[in-house]
Structure 1
Amino acid sequence: MKKLRNQLLLCILAAFLTINLTSAVDFLFNGFDSSDVSLYGNATIESRMLTLTKDSGFAIGRALYPSRIPTKQPNSSLILPFSTSFIFAMAPYEGRLPGHGLVFLFAPREGIQGTNSAQHLGLLNFTNNGNSSNHVFGVEFDCFRNQEFNDINDNHVGIDVNSLISVSSYEAGYWPDDHRKKEDGSPDENSFKSLLLNNGRTYQVWIDYADSVVNVTMAPVGMKRPNQPLLSFS
């Protein structure tokens, strides 16, 4: 059997951030070069593919958009709406423990200072996890169940605000557009389609924020975006 590399492969196809009704930060990457993103830690770009970690243990890789993106209007506390979509694959090396996962994030500063690997996903560390001063937002794709973070299982998606204890999480997967519903209108769990995050398959993710609501949706690449978000949090 062909060995799979212990890498987290993240390829952003499209990302869009609305600043206001008349202007926007708008960028589209179909593959990468060194001028597209700022790389930190073990992150590399080879053959226009962004790779976050390699087969070394306890590795952290981060790729950030090189320019600061406004998240608020001047003199306002309201968070601006945004939409993003990207494609990723996580491929574990045969015979080794896989990486813990990856995070799409908004962070107030460059670099990877103040972060740890493993269960901290390169997002936070032992001492700053949960601090309101972090000013960090993330959507995690987590392949380990860590009891200290109240993880629901070892294959989940979570919304993180200043902490790795997610404010909302659900098993990785999607709701088919023809999924059954219960009498109260909520989705029937038997209709849910699970997706294994770290099996080397390629998935597309959509993350949207508007009117104080975050929606996260995912599906196998090539599939139409499901109408029902995987996560919806306000």
Structure 2
Amino acid sequence: MIMCPGVCGRKMFRTKTLSESQSNFESVDSPALKPDRSWKGILLDKQVIELFFKIHIRVRHRHDLCHHVILCLSQLATLRGNIFTGNPAQVEYLHHFIQCVLHTLNSGEIQDHEALGLSGIFNNLINTHPTGIFVSLPGDVLTSFVTNLTNLTCHFCSKASLEEASSTWGGGGEVGEFTDIQTIAPFHPPIYDTIMCSKPSQGSSSDCIKYPD
């Protein structure tokens, strides 16, 4: 269940935002983008990707506009198929896309209404691109990606805890954007395990983080 966020006992958005947030979340969970090679010159142009991220930074404080840009970025995160002539091309695309994501995360404070969309982008990147593509990224980029993924998850968990506590002790019964952490958090133990175990510099398999079943 996804409802309007409440902070310190007050609503941040209008009541109708409830249906808007639910609709937005479902829209972000979009199918893979698999265009033919005729789109290569456009979709693999780094300036096109950068343009979408620049627009997002400009409108991130506007809930109505931010959703549409994040929807586009979430779809671009699923790019796959014959548009890539081989693994090097896919690695280059993922490398640049992740760099843009990291720049966006560090360009300003994350807004509450961005939570679902940003989680969707991380989810789509991880679920679309094979682990072999990830481990082919430069070590510093991969480390930064995993670090930001961890920080983002902790940020969402913290928000969820505060909202749940506010709902419990405040008696309002309202649930925030972050409370359904199982749904929106971009936390993927398998990608952590596989990436860390695939990088020799990260240590032997016995050093890999283990998660409970």
TM-score (structure 2 length as normaliser): 0.31
TM-score (structure 1 length as normaliser): 0.29
> Which has more strand, going by share of residues?
1
Which protein has greater RCO, CA pairs closer than 8 Å, 6+ apart?
Answer: 2
> Which has more helix, going by share of residues?
2
